[in-house]
Amino acid sequence: MQAPEAYARIDYLRRTIEEHNHRYYAENRPLISDQAFDQLLKELESLEARFPEYDDPNSPTRRVGGSITRSFDTATHEYPMLSLGNTYSLEEVEAFIARVEKSITDEVTFTCELKYDGVAISLSYLQGQLVQAVTRGDGEKGDVVTDNVRTIRSLPLKLRGEYPERLILRGEIIMPRVSFDHLNRERRAEGKETFANPRNSAAGSLKLQDSAEVARRGLDCFLYSVPGTGNAQSTHFDSLQQARGWGFRVSEQLTRCRDIQEIEEFIRYWDQARQALPYDIDGVVIKVDRFDLQEALGFTAKNPRWAIAYKFKAENVSTRLLSVSYQVGRTGAITPVANLEPVQLAGTTVKRASLHNADIIAALDLHEHDHVFVEKGGEIIPKITGVDLERRETGSQPMQFITHCPECGSLLERREEEAAYYCPNSRACPPQIRGRIAHFISRRAMDIESLGEGKVELLYDLGIIQDPADLYDLAPMHLLGIEKTWEDQESGKLRKVSFREKTVENIISGIEASREVPFERVLFALGIRYVGETTAKKLARHFGDLDALMQASLDELLRVDEVGPRIAESLLNYFGEEENRRLIERLISSGLQFHSQQALSSGGALSGRSFVVSGVFARYSRDAIKDLIEKHGGRNTASLSAQTDFLLAGENMGPAKREKAEKLGIRIISEDELLQMIGKE
């Protein structure tokens, strides 16, 4: 393809892909299948790689991220980003309305909208192109997070239709609950600290240095402010409709209200209905609709006089603590759970609340039989926020954390710098074994869906399986006819597990199919502490097979991208244990995959060579470059050492790295040189 022709195609693809992005993410009415979409995106990626002269920072290919930001630049807001005066009382909302009506002689209309619980963002567009996204910061200055914000699919990188030459708009970046739950599940599996609520994780995600990781976090953005046009009768309500036309996601819930009754109705409705929204809101914002009236009302030193935020109270009730039970997880971590006298809270009956760890119990100074306050905020599991001291029984004793495992009786241990107590009896403590088998069969590991957690527990309790390797010795006759009925404590309903012919057939074929699960997922399935999905993938690609991984020294492990001392030590401990090695041998003889199909560790053009990739590249994202290196047999390592063969230097690479490479005599190559080495040009 010739350059002009390529450009026409690139331009067409960019426009088409953005149109589909908009339909899918902002309007929720997709036109084409995911597969057809991916095909268009792939074609664009490959054309952009061939014709780098047509680079565009707002190309839809940038939505997957790839750039690395070392530290964020700061930018001064053209208009300070003020916050809203807020209140928890309807009387104060009434007083606000009365104040507005007193100072304005015209009839005033208000808009009521949702108060999204996320992070404020200021977006600048020049000639319809997104040029800058800045966080609120201290209101005067914020961080420039443009590359990260570009990954948010519901946000237009180029505006549609007619628009002013220059625009500064504001909105809220949020993390929908599904993305939040997914992220925390992943982090828990990887032994990482979880985020307390979607707002914190949206804020944390926006400050990540790797925009490709931001892209995976599934952020979303609601637009709530467009500058007035100066036209006397123009309104906030209309300006948001216009913004919707430019391609922004604007809430459907925006409502015009004429008086306090209508406003209160909106507030009451959303205080209840917010439970069903797919994202968190923490209140309602009431704004004077007409821009000229907003201008007339003006600002105080901190807040606009034409708007107020009504914040929902986190629902809070008091109930009696009946007892504390202690759950043992698959890693042996002990989680205390409060058993409560059942109480109605935010539309559900609450019987339990997590107490997290011993420090939290101590901080609450929880005594036996206390009355406690239970709250349901943004989080799904209710939490205990305090003790009603007035109702404490005289002479009641402080809650003592257990010293021994409730399941196997072992003395609990507490590791340095960790809040949790652990049961060290990982070999024989039943919930740990059951948890490990349940993790092994889970969807993202060996994916033996036909065998659920309930069935695994039953088979373990009956002594039919003791570890994951036993699954591969199962035959139909071991399973047929097994049955158990019990009452579920939570719901009081009867539950039943039974192994009929069809079920058994499905289980056996599920186990059979799992022999083909690729090495990286088998490695994740082993449940090695701190080795989550991503780490397992990196290890599998780096070492190529289990043998090489098991023989790796601490130093060699530390050379793997994103492997630090904590993970490396955990791996050495795991492979150092005789019992684990026996389990692995049995899994090998059952035919599981312990070789990576991804790594062409021998035979590739880069076979045996190690690379450090640094900076930003013209043709490929950093992750794509790393993939290329691995596909051709090379290895990626995180930091320079005497063992490094090449430093692949992109734009913005710091001078310190170059100096260090020169000192160590490491060859420094460019993206083009790498592509030559692997025969791509």
In whole angstroms, the minimum distance from the beta carbon of 84 to ligand IVH comes to 4
Site string for ligand IVH, 254-283 (x = CB under 6 A): ------------------------------
Residues in the chain: 681
Q: Examine residue 149 and tell whether it contacts ligand IVH (CB under 6 A).
A: no
387: its two tokens: 């003790």
Round to whole Å and give the CA distance between 101 and 94: 11
Q: Examine residue 116 and tell whether it contacts ligand IVH (CB under 6 A).
A: yes
Cβ neighbours around 292 below 10 Å, total: 16
Round to whole Å and give the CA distance between 275 and 401: 34
- Contacts of residue 261, defined as CB under 8 A and 6 or more positions apart, other chains included, come to none
Give the H/E segment covering residue 146.
helix 146-150
Q: Examine residue 306 and tell whether it contacts ligand IVH (CB under 6 A).
A: no
Stretch that binds ligand IVH, among 50-58, 109-117, 444-452, 543-551 (CB under 6 A): 109-117
300: its two tokens: 């105080």
CA atoms lying within 13 Å on the CB side of residue 456: 26
3-state SS string over 483-548?
EEEEECCCCCCEEEEECCHHHHHHHHHHHHHHHHCCHHHHHHHCCCCCCCHHHHHHHHHHHCEHHH
Q: Examine residue 82 and tell whether it contacts ligand IVH (CB under 6 A).
A: yes
Stretch that binds ligand IVH, among 78-86, 191-199, 339-347, 403-411 (CB under 6 A): 78-86
Round to whole Å and give the CA distance between 41 and 34: 10
In whole angstroms, the minimum distance from the beta carbon of 297 to ligand IVH comes to 12
Task: Name the residue nearer to ligand IVH (CB basis): 22 or 115.
Answer: 115
Task: Name the residue nearer to ligand IVH (CB basis): 83 or 573.
Answer: 83
Stretch that binds ligand IVH, among 52-60, 111-119, 414-422, 481-489 (CB under 6 A): 111-119
Stretch that binds ligand IVH, among 115-123, 141-149, 348-356, 652-660 (CB under 6 A): 115-123
Task: Name the residue nearer to ligand IVH (CB basis): 309 or 364.
Answer: 309
Task: Name the residue nearer to ligand IVH (CB basis): 113 or 520.
Answer: 113
Buried residues in 104-134 as b, exposed as e (16+ CB within 10 A): eeeebbbbbbbbbbbbbbbbbbeebebebbb
Q: How many residues bind ligand IVH (CB under 6 A)?
A: 14
Task: Name the residue nearer to ligand IVH (CB basis): 119 or 364.
Answer: 119
Q: Examine residue 465 and tell whether it contacts ligand IVH (CB under 6 A).
A: no
Round to whole Å and give the CA distance between 636 and 198: 33
Task: Name the residue nearer to ligand IVH (CB basis): 252 or 417.
Answer: 252
The only residue of 18, 45, 48, 113 in contact with ligand IVH, by rule CB under 6 A: 113
Q: Examine residue 115 and tell whether it contacts ligand IVH (CB under 6 A).
A: yes
In whole angstroms, the minimum distance from the beta carbon of 172 to ligand IVH comes to 5
The only residue of 84, 308, 321, 648 in contact with ligand IVH, by rule CB under 6 A: 84
Stretch that binds ligand IVH, among 79-87, 230-238, 380-388, 490-498 (CB under 6 A): 79-87
Site string for ligand IVH, 662-681 (x = CB under 6 A): --------------------
The only residue of 309, 350, 433, 584 in contact with ligand IVH, by rule CB under 6 A: 309
Q: Are 8 and 52 in contact (CB under 8 A)?
A: no
- Contacts of residue 429, defined as CB under 8 A and 6 or more positions apart, other chains included, come to 328, 332, 405, 407, 408, 410, 423
Task: Name the residue nearer to ligand IVH (CB basis): 72 or 224.
Answer: 224
Nearest 5°: phi and psi at 494? -80, 135
Task: Name the residue nearer to ligand IVH (CB basis): 111 or 357.
Answer: 111
Question: What DSSP letter does each residue of 441-497 carry, written as one string?
Answer: HSTTTT--TTS-HHHHHHHHHTTS-SSGGGGGG--HHHHTT-EEEEE-TTT--EEEE
Residue numbers 350-369 binding ligand IVH by CB under 6 A: none
The only residue of 167, 215, 250, 285 in contact with ligand IVH, by rule CB under 6 A: 285
Question: What DSSP letter does each residue of 318-383 carry, written as one string?
Answer: EEEEEEEEEEE-TT-BEEEEEEEEEEEETTEEEEEEE--SHHHHHHHT-BTT-EEEEEESSSSS-E
- Contacts of residue 326, defined as CB under 8 A and 6 or more positions apart, other chains included, come to 334, 335, 336, 337, 402, 406
Q: Examine residue 304 and tell whether it contacts ligand IVH (CB under 6 A).
A: yes
Task: Name the residue nearer to ligand IVH (CB basis): 84 or 123.
Answer: 84
Stretch that binds ligand IVH, among 114-122, 202-210, 573-581, 650-658 (CB under 6 A): 114-122
Round to whole Å and give the CA distance between 405 and 359: 18
In whole angstroms, the minimum distance from the beta carbon of 128 to ligand IVH comes to 24
Round to whole Å and give the CA distance between 575 and 552: 10
In whole angstroms, the minimum distance from the beta carbon of 225 to ligand IVH comes to 6
Task: Name the residue nearer to ligand IVH (CB basis): 117 or 561.
Answer: 117
Q: Are 666 and 643 in contact (CB under 8 A)?
A: no
Active site includes 115?
yes
In whole angstroms, the minimum distance from the beta carbon of 381 to ligand IVH comes to 25
Stretch that binds ligand IVH, among 55-63, 76-84, 230-238, 592-600 (CB under 6 A): 76-84
Choice among 115, 376, 455, 538 that is catalytic: 115
Buried residues in 301-311 as b, exposed as e (16+ CB within 10 A): eeebbbbbbbb
Identify the three-state secondary structure at position 45. helix
Residue numbers 186-225 binding ligand IVH by CB under 6 A: 224-225
In whole angstroms, the minimum distance from the beta carbon of 237 to ligand IVH comes to 12
Active site amino acids: 115
Q: Which residues bind ligand IVH (CB under 6 A)?
A: 82-84, 113, 115-116, 120, 136, 172, 224-225, 285, 304, 309
